[in-house]
Structure 1
């Protein structure tokens, strides 16, 4: 089969999609900066003379005890605030597959396969390195499987401003699918006790929420209580409450359908909710979770060495740095090898490797899974945090070097496209060929 007959991987998407991804990157850059600041503050605070105050804040309980919601501040952040994060992730994923460039299955298969590879290979590496470690070490197999959306997109926005929009769309979709796979893992493998009645009860407020949003209702005083009830019942069922955020997002319509315009008459509530909740997620929910979760007492160089020699920590670092790179790259290569697909003209496999390295930035969801796997107060809790931070830092540094070099190559192409832009402000390259049109 000749190369001319093969469908391109990472081909240029539509101009509207390119502009949307650029806007997401701008927002996530701010969110990523806040996330980094929160993580640094947590680390400094936890290793300062005021460390007891940090732990007291984490363990401070609030909420209605009658509803079994008298939870610690740290638990509210992990179960409540991250539900907002996964609500936005669910909206993003549904929008991509219903109205975005990935509604074409031939294009969707690439990031989905890459996300699957980026989950399977790190989990296998962690498992192999922890066979025989005992003390429940294998419970942490899912820790290195997650990619942090806010951090990854923020890094990409800083070091890869001129990378093709198709690559940025790939990373965004990969990260969203990756985190939703992580949520599925949490729901299936980290649910200790399941209460059937609350789980069945979730269907009532969730169904009412879905019915209202399908009819175009935006009234917060109607939707917010239903969303809160869905979350509370999910929490009471034993399934991690963040799953409620994804389920609520999947009920929100992406395109408007009414008697006047019919299907596709315009954007649905998904776009409206995403604009409203993305700043809340990236600017507040995720940074607060990082502030309350990233604080770990390192104990100097000796403490750092002790943490990083634990087989659990070794498995996490290897999974994030090596497993993510191998898994994402190999899955993408297999799609190209066994389907009628090849890299789009002008792209390089070095781009794929750089994005795969960036996928090793676990952080938010990796910290969440670490808490679920080993619990608070476990001696390995601090080892997990040190390993997640170390692995994520190494992944960012390696990806930054590769993507920065590729960014220089694409900068010249970007400048040429700006010169060729028509009076309507749309680069000619988006109006010709397979790029899609307006």
Structure 2
């Protein structure tokens, strides 16, 4: 992308209807807007005056630049198009500093899902877990398993090197999935490798774009990661938005990623919303082949903030006051290396870590087989439960099935 292009934000098109922000770019000579397009070909798009910046060829999705008043759907073969838009990080509550004393004793979540017992059978060795988030603090004593070289940053459609965490969220999420336990806390898959895929900027509002997230997803599949965790999203959207072009693009990319062998685990959201009633949808969860995870409490009940809904939730996992790693360079709790936080952001990485255990024991399992193993190992009322889908995960039961 040209150096004379700067970021701007406008309200327009699909995202304006959602109450989200579309992201365009302004060039020196004329206005250029970022579009996400499905269908067509780079050659056809270029002939019609668009600039193809990125191709996600396995998904037939393209990130392009064009005039503000352009209509990419007029190009032969294009099925849908929308102006790229941003969404903010979905956080249920502010974090709280960890108590003093033996931290492992505070990991009620790992006890509840029998993760420590499961480690007698599998620890996630030789598996790789991607974290699409605010970045991961690789200097943390319990995150020595971050692959700095493989980790990447995707901002404004540009890929760059790993630069750590711009907040604390990604570090906390990564620890839940795969903290090594070297000093304080242990993740579900402590011997897995963590690959940070940051999509939130270091300056300005903490907003990620759909385009950058699609690039991070594609990168995860290209790198052959076993699973990618997406504890990101927005408030639930009304059913009339379900057929918009932005859903088509996300669905095609997620399908492409899972077909290439990378599981996609997403947080269900923190709005206490029944996603089935009235047809409400989750930005990343209401997509076939993405496993959407609700949050449960220490009492083994649905957390009051968690979204839910029949046919929307794959499984539930602990997500209320979860102790994990923390980036000490943050504004919320400066200097803190361990903290507790709540949200479906905390429940999703429990499942991502469990994917690591399954793939260690059965490295040739495809995405559907991994998901089926986790669902069969879950404890609950079964696949149709609106609160926890197939049930609340149980790591020991899952690995015992393999």
Q: If the length of structure 1 is used for normalisation, what is the TM-score?
A: 0.25
Q: If the length of structure 2 is used for normalisation, what is the TM-score?
A: 0.26
Greater length-normalized contact order (CA 8 Å, ≥ 6 residues apart) = 1
Structure ranking higher in helix proportion: 1
Structure ranking higher in strand proportion: 2
Which entry has the higher C-alpha Rg, 1 or 2? 1
